Each structure stands twice: as C-alpha cells, then as structure tokens.
Structure 1
C-alpha cells in the first residue's frame, strides 16, 4: 500500500484492534496524518468502516483540508448514528451465492 499515510504495522493494529487499542493508536498519530488515513481508508471499499472510525477521531477542519468537500461528508458520516440493517419483506427469501451450484 504505497500511498497509505501510516506504516503497515500501524494499519494492521488499527484493523485488528478493539476500540480501546484503536483509540490509543490514533492518539499517537498526528492530526494531519490521521485525516489522510481516514480519507485513504474510506476510499477502500473493504476498509470503509475503519475509515469512518478513524474519521471520528479527526476534526472537520483537518478532514476538509485533506479531502475538501469529501472530507466534510466523511466528518458528518463519522458522527451519524449507524444505520440499522434493512428489514426484509415478509416471505422474501435471502439470497446467498455461497450455496449456489451449477446444474448441468
């Protein structure tokens, strides 16, 4: 990850850490780097949630300085209440590709 603003071991700790560990690690990252990290992670689909978590430890000014309007949106999303999973309609079946198999 050549454009990641923190060393890979720090990224791994953030990815695997519980809330307390993440909070401690983020406290040691300078605010500008933390905002760049939030924008970087948010831009990766598989790290989107971690990007929001990091953004919640950033100021709006830092996020806007790093990512412009997208930083303002990231700031707002990081502070919004998490969405509840969408309910399925009664009788609607769940679709899983994992159990699919080809019938020849």
Structure 2
C-alpha cells in the first residue's frame, strides 16, 4: 500500500470569500496589503496554505504567507507551514519569477507535415 501523501490543510475550501480572493488575485501591491491587513492572522495563514497548495495560485500563496507569522503558519499547516514561511521570505519578487524571452508554445498548426 502506498504511503499517504502529505497535504496542506484546507485544500478544498477557500477560507475567504471569492470577492476577497479576486481582489487579492487582481490587486496591485497596495490593494493586496490593505486586504491582507483586514484579514485575521489565523485566517490569513489558512489562506496562504490554501493558495500555496494550488499550482496556479502558488505565487499568491507565497505573497500571503509573507504577511503571516511563522507561528500562525505552523499552527495551520505544521511542518509545511514552516517551509511556507521560509520560502515566503526567500522567494524572488513576482517580476523575477516569470522567465523572459521564453517562446510561447502553440499546439495547433505549429508544424507542417511534409
């Protein structure tokens, strides 16, 4: 029998409303900081763990985790919370996470068959 895989808690339920999540996703730095300041610390830590567990929201999870204390993240996610805390303090800024000059991949019509 395979070993159970470690999962971050709250992987199925977002701890904030979709409106708040949308504001965080689309907001600039100032808007995100304002919204995060209004979220209670325990909820903020749960949100960081939730977002980090979603591959398409990984960077946002790190951004939210950078506004959390290590104690809150560990309380919410155990050892994964400690790792999340460390990564949020060492992650490059969002502008450096996207590779530049990388070719786009097109699946349709990208090759001509001879």
- Show structure 1 runs of 4+ deviating over 3 A: none
Gap runs ≥5 in structure 1: 88-93
Give the root-mean-square deviation of aligned CA atoms.
2.4
Q: How many residues align?
A: 97
The TM-score with structure 2 as length reference comes to 0.75
Gap runs ≥5 in structure 2: 1-10
The equivalent of 1:90 in structure 2 is none
The TM-score with structure 1 as length reference comes to 0.82
The correspondence for 1:98, drawn from 73, 92, 106, is 106
Distance 2:15 2:112 in 1: 44
The equivalent of 2:20 in structure 1 is 10
Greater relative contact order, per chain length (Cα 8 Å cut-off, separation 6+): 2
